[in-house]
Structure 1
Amino acid sequence: MVKSFDTSKNPASSPLTDTPTPPAQHIWLAGLGAMAKAQEQGTKAIEALVNDGLAFQRKSQAEAQQRLHEATERLTHMASDLGQQSVVRVDRLEHLFEERVAKALHRLGMPSMGDMQLLQARVDQLQEQLNQILQANGTDAPKSKAAPAKKQAAKSGLTASAKTKPQRAPVKSSRRAAD
């Protein structure tokens, strides 16, 4: 059932024709008015939405940057801890290796670094005593460590040529003679 509108009370009649406007035209005009209002307010609404979107984007980026910074700090701290732990483990392994090598060398009768240092200190002490004895007898002290060895060889009557081994004559190959 369609309602009829009383056009005498409706001020929306056309001024040119003074004829009443049908209800479909009222709906059409209402739609055009809504569209005009939407255009007018739509621009403002779109600008407001764009501004809200920009604010949200900035806030999101700031939050993401903050979380990235926190994650970077945590990972850096973890990497540092792992690096320190690995250094400690490598130091322990190195120490263990050195101990085992030292034990093996000791079993083979090899002197340790401490033994060599004690021996060098003893040699230096004996060299000093020899120098003092030689000075007391009125002879010159040797100037280098190689000099006492030469004097010892001279005292024992050995010359440099006597110390060297005699050279053997080359052995001829029997194979060459057969050819």
Structure 2
Amino acid sequence: MAQVKKERLIDSSINAATEVTDSLKIQARQLWLATLGAYAKVGKEGAAYFKELVNEGQALETQGKELLSEQVDSATSKVEQFKAGFKTRVDSATGGRLEKVVDSVEKGRAELLGRVGIPSRSEMQKLSAKLDELSASLKGAKLG
């Protein structure tokens, strides 16, 4: 029963970190789309407007990078603090044996998922990255 609680804590930590990174991806994507929209508008309204947008974009880019960096640093710090505290508590409660048990359970889970044809998290992340690249290249081809 204690093992189940530990696994739930680990899963909730992973889910929290995933939510933060997903949120950051969405915000970055919105900034990118806004930039593309601004670029399209410039083509219609002239070079002067373009220069104005470039200046505003530079300021917003700096602010956005700072904000994203702060959010990532904050989320990373919180996750690391949680992991360190959790690991310390678990290690002291189990005498350091939990890591071996977790590794064994993870290997078994990965093997089981592989047997039934469910891709692993890393495989899904690789596929997602490839789709992002393909999407970017298709958008580049449409703009060009």
* TM-score, reference length from structure 1: 0.28
Larger Rg computed on CA atoms = 1
Which has the larger helix fraction? Answer: 2
Higher relative contact order (CA 8 A, sep 6+): 2
